[in-house]
Amino acid sequence: MTARCKYFGTDGIRGTVGESPITPEFMLKLGWAVGQVLKNGPQRHKVLVGKDTRISGYMFESALESGLSAAGMDVRLLGPMPTPAIAYLTRTFHAQAGIVISASHNPYPDNGIKFFSHAGTKLADEVELAIESWLDRPMRTVSPEQLGKAERIEDAPGRYIEFCKSTLPFDIDLKQFKLVVDCAHGATYHIAPNVFRELGAEVETLGTQPNGLNINDRCGATYPQTLQKAVLELGADMGIALDGDGDRVIMVDHQGNILDGDDLLYIIAIARHQAQLLTGPVVGTLMSNLGLEQALQQRGIPFLRAKVGDRHVLELLQQQQGILGGETSGHLLCLDRTTTGDGIVTALQILAIVIQTQSQLAELKRGLHKYPQVQLTVPLSSSSTGENASAQDILNHPEMRAVRQQVEKILGNTGRFLLRPSGTEPVIRIMVEGPEGKLIAELAQQFAVVLQRIAGE
């Protein structure tokens, strides 16, 4: 970020419902502030608003609609729709912005707000800062004749389904596949199964009965074990697990092996490279497995690391004129197909590669030899996270620095570790990787014990 935001994190604004800033009052003011920043001239402007399936989405949808209307912005309500669908529809409707009410892969007590520009990309840092500056001003409603109007777009799902299908070559169908699709009881529940079925696949579904409380609950991309079991029991060719808002995907091959974002990024990168369609470097993050970097470099494919967060991956891709990047979590960017991370579109690219190479999914990742990697999360108490800087203070504690030096000496050039505050939750994330699984597990636990002790002081 060019300057430190008070509310915006790495992926919009997120937190626990009912706790500041995730309250109806804040969302009302936020909608108004967004309207103030995006208005440009006397003509009418419109903003698209979509949401995932959390029960709190109804409340925040109404609050944002009121705030936007008070600022003179017309609102188009999409209802439950995947995050990447809102990015796409914002472009096709020539809207000033798209707003997503979602906490992505978090459980239902959390919610948040993400924004897309008129081009279907994340808002620039300076726009987020401008919105925050308006949040500090008194809210004033435009005159009655200037109030924004709200309409509901009924055909949004169909529009997005057609877009997803269009990202496959026209001569490819999925008739040969039996797929299990896990929608995490989230925003893709009425989208993803139809995409794959309309392309000819036999589809079994999981996580397609949202009740407002079960989003991401032991299902979807954050819990692929449910999909793994179903693929084996049903004898499916593959499984596709999406997260609550549909921008992540994890896949399972016919043998029950889980493929994360690094695996999928490798498969797409190799296929694009072999077809001479890969431009620029492949971009991962500081969390991407060292084995991915080495496997791509062995094939002459440059690999760069961005800070964690898809916005940072996108920024580096744009700087380097690249088209392909992503995160281990399954949030992949295929900029030759769309403008943002899209779990359904990513899965379709993998399926197309399986067909074009006449290979099984398990075969396509054989050139990738990942290092054992351990990831742990250390929760922070509210007292230790009163400000964003305090998490950094914990990481800079003398005892923490001493442990880092010790681990660096042990790993040498054979492994890596990363300690970072989360941009979306009050936690510190630990990642350690190296050739010996037992050793890195011990080192990761050593970090966790020290962090917990310091955070509790």
Q: Round to whole Å and give the CA distance between 29 and 412.
A: 51
Coil, strand or helix at 218:
coil
Nearest to 417 by CA among 401, 434, 400: 434
Give the residue numbers marked as catalytic.
104
Is the Cβ–Cβ distance between 167 and 337 less than 8 Å? yes
Written in H, E and C, the secondary structure of 85-135 is HHHHHHHHCCCCEEEEECCCCCCCCEEEEEEEECCCCECCHHHHHHHHHHH
What is the C-alpha separation between 160 and 165, in angstroms, rounded? 9
Residue 55: per-residue pLDDT: 98
pLDDT of residue 388: 42
Question: How far lies 394's CA from each of 7, 67, 378, 407, 424, in Å?
Answer: 21, 38, 12, 17, 18
- For residue 19, count other CB atoms closer than 10 A to its CB: 11
Strands 178-182 and 13-16 come out as unpaired
pLDDT the model gives residue 162: 98
Residue identified by tokens 């001239």 is 41
Are 264 and 251 contacting, i.e. CB atoms less than 8 angstroms apart? yes
**3 state SS of 151:** strand
pLDDT of the chain along its 457 residues, tens only?
A: 445 578 988 788 999 999 999 999 999 999 999 999 998 767 789 999 999 999 999 999 999 999 999 999 999 999 999 999 999 999 999 999 999 999 999 999 999 999 999 999 988 889 999 999 999 999 999 999 999 999 999 999 999 999 999 999 999 999 999 999 999 999 999 999 999 999 999 999 999 999 999 999 999 999 999 999 999 999 999 999 999 999 999 999 999 999 999 999 999 999 999 999 999 999 999 999 999 999 999 999 999 999 988 889 999 999 999 999 999 999 999 999 999 999 999 999 999 999 999 999 999 999 999 999 999 999 887 544 444 447 888 999 999 999 999 999 999 988 999 998 887 678 899 999 999 999 999 999 999 999 998 887 6
Angle (nearest 5°) at CA 89 between 83 and 92: 155
Which residue ranges form the domains of the chain, and what is each CATH number?
13-154 (3.40.120.10), 160-364 (3.40.120.10), 373-455 (3.30.310.50)
Residue 43's Cα: distance from chain center in Å? 34
